[in-house]
Chains A and B, each alone.
Chain A
Amino acid sequence: MSLIPENRLAELSGDDVKRYSRHLILPEVGWEGQQRLKAAKVLIVGTGGLGAPLALYLAAAGVGTLGLVDFDTVEASNLQRQIIHSTRDIDRPKVASARDRIRGINPDIKVITHNTRLSSANALEILRNYDVVADGTDNFPTRYLVNDACVLLGIPTVYGSIYQFEGQASVFYAKKGPCYRCLYPAPPPPGLVPSCGEGGVLGVLPGIIGCIQANEVIKLIVDADEHEGRSLIGRLLLFDAWQLKFRELALDKEPACPICGEQPTIHDLVDYEEFCGLKREEAEVPVKAISARDLKARLDAGDRIQLIDVREPHERAIFQFEGAKAIPFGQLIRRKEEFNPEIDAVFICKIGQRSIYAIRALRDAGYTGRMFNLKDGSNAWARDVDPSLPQY
């Protein structure tokens, strides 16, 4: 059965015929396909790197109702990739900025903004009003939340995800194929797989993956599978922007999947922070912290301290930490013999987060010396001790 049944097909006006003529003369879309697009309600979760091209192209294509969920405001560092926002939008809510841009492209689109965090408390209420959900979120708890809500409501999720140069895309539709939990039953614990905030992302990458998502949204609405097309249901597309390589992997529905499998055990939304280990993390053995000012005072007093800079070489090129030994995060365990457990060690990264994971990794690997985390990282040093150095 089609996502947009016959009785919901929308009337096309004379203006619609002009605007969408390139769709109308495409036999696989045609009049009926455009009627479906006009009737369709699509929710875009996140108006960041993936949400930007999604919203722009779906608006241009004539998707009648676009919902936008985001709680964030536009920052200067977003503009490198989130092309729906402009320089003058800095500090505005992202959903407001995106709505204005959509109206400029296509004033006929109904835009519903949800300036809120998607949560277990509001997700079903929001998502149930839509035909398709496009997932452009940037964190694991929300991904599992969106997946579970869509499975429970019987809605397809058009999935996209990015890291540095690599992207993934698929369509998760439990009625016809696997869901996100079939692919990844559990998320990485915090700190195991780094995220873009410290890992960086090539600005064009979310543009490419977001466009693939927009393509899949349109195909679901116009029922491409019934017109010799093939959706990404049951397939995982991998894209490497640096080597310019597309690869496709088969995704199977997991019979033991706890939400879409043969004997589901999840019948309602859960606590996704807890599921993703964010609460567990707080219960772990705490890591000792030292502020930038206190570290400076100890160094000035002549204390013996091993300073370990766990940032990557390209980061050290932006900001060289004087007197620190450089051992990138990914080489700490292999090189742990280079530390002296008799002397206090202070670990330095950009914002004081990787350094915490560095200390935990070394502790797990059996290092016994005293370890401190430079609170808020090299950015705090630049802010509080040596303003001639850059915060980046």
Chain B
Amino acid sequence: MSVTIQIPSALRAFTERKSEIAVEAKTVGEAITALTNLYPDIRPHLFEEEGKLRSFINVYVAGKNVRNAGGVEAAIPDGETLTLVPAIAGGAPLGVRL
């Protein structure tokens, strides 16, 4: 089943600047794993070491946040879009201190 993953600009450095990636998957976990297989550099940004989704990335399927609705187990209907919504802060260069 085909799923379209929307890549936010904060993560496009890891997907050769592509904004959408199509993968075959039935669940959120499968979709994101397929993405990290294609682009291994993105993996640490999406999964914690234990394979849990990072808490600064929200995953939306069909307009709903999956965090309290199945997480990585959540099913994705065929042809549906998965949107990654990372925390962004804007502005300050890396390492700037308060």
| Cross-chain contact of B41 among A50, A353, A361 (Cβ < 8 A) | A361
Contacts of A166 in B (CB 8 A): 8-10, 88
Q: How far is the CB of B57 from chain A (nearest CB, A)?
A: 8
A351 close to B93 (CB less than 8 A): yes
Interface residues, chain B, with chain A CB atoms under 8 Å away: 8-11, 13-16, 19, 39-45, 54-56, 58, 60, 63-65, 68, 83, 85-98
Q: How far is the CB of A363 from chain B (nearest CB, A)?
A: 12
Contacts of A254 in B (CB 8 A): 68
Q: How far is the CB of B33 from chain A (nearest CB, A)?
A: 15
A48 to B90 alpha-carbon distance, docked (Å):
10
A243 close to B92 (CB less than 8 A): no
Q: How far is the CB of B21 from chain A (nearest CB, A)?
A: 14
A250 to B68 alpha-carbon distance, docked (Å):
13
A165 to B11 alpha-carbon distance, docked (Å):
12
Contacts of A321 in B (CB 8 A): none
Interface size on A, residues (CB 8 A): 68
Contacts of A266 in B (CB 8 A): none
A162 touching B94 in the complex, CB below 8 Å, given contacts A330-B41, A331-B41: no
A353 close to B68 (CB less than 8 A): no
Contacts of B63 in A (CB 8 A): 248-250
User: 21 A–B contact pairs at CB < 8 A?
Assistant: A48-B91, A49-B90, A139-B98, A161-B87, A161-B90, A163-B90, A164-B9, A187-B56, A187-B89, A190-B95, A193-B11, A194-B13, A195-B93, A201-B90, A201-B91, A249-B60, A329-B41, A330-B15, A331-B16, A332-B41, A361-B44
Q: How far is the CB of A313 from chain B (nearest CB, A)?
A: 9
Central interface residue in A184, A273, A353, by most chain B CB within 10 Å: A184
A164 to B7 alpha-carbon distance, docked (Å):
13
Q: How far is the CB of A284 from chain B (nearest CB, A)?
A: 13
A145 to B85 alpha-carbon distance, docked (Å):
21
A184 close to B55 (CB less than 8 A): yes
A164 to B11 alpha-carbon distance, docked (Å):
11
Contacts of A100 in B (CB 8 A): none
Closest A-chain residue to B13, C-beta based? A330
B94 close to A249 (CB less than 8 A): no
| Cross-chain contact of B94 among A119, A333, A354 (Cβ < 8 A) | A354
A290 to B88 alpha-carbon distance, docked (Å):
31
Contacts of B95 in A (CB 8 A): 190, 353
Contacts of B93 in A (CB 8 A): 195-198, 351, 353
| Cross-chain contact of A162 among B41, B54, B90, B97 (Cβ < 8 A) | B90
Contacts of A328 in B (CB 8 A): 13
Check if A387 is an interface residue, CB within 8 A of chain B.
Answer: no
B10 close to A186 (CB less than 8 A): no
Closest A-chain residue to B46, C-beta based? A192
Contacts of B40 in A (CB 8 A): 333-334
* Additional A-B contacts beyond A143-B89, A193-B86 (8; CB < 8 A): A137-B89, A163-B89, A192-B44, A197-B91, A197-B92, A242-B9, A251-B65, A328-B13
Closest B-chain residue to A117, C-beta based? B98
Check if A141 is an interface residue, CB within 8 A of chain B.
Answer: yes
Contacts of B90 in A (CB 8 A): 49-50, 137-138, 161-163, 195-196, 201, 206
Check if A183 is an interface residue, CB within 8 A of chain B.
Answer: yes
Closest A-chain residue to B42, C-beta based? A330
| Cross-chain contact of A163 among B9, B43, B60 (Cβ < 8 A) | B9
Check if A390 is an interface residue, CB within 8 A of chain B.
Answer: no
Contacts of B85 in A (CB 8 A): 168, 236, 238, 249
Closest B-chain residue to A164, C-beta based? B9
Check if A15 is an interface residue, CB within 8 A of chain B.
Answer: no
Check if A264 is an interface residue, CB within 8 A of chain B.
Answer: no
Closest A-chain residue to B91, C-beta based? A138
Residues of A112-168 contacting chain B, CB below 8 A: 117, 119, 137-143, 145, 161-166, 168
6 closest residue pairs by CB, A with B? A138-B91, A197-B93, A330-B13, A330-B14, A163-B88, A164-B9
Contacts of A201 in B (CB 8 A): 90-91
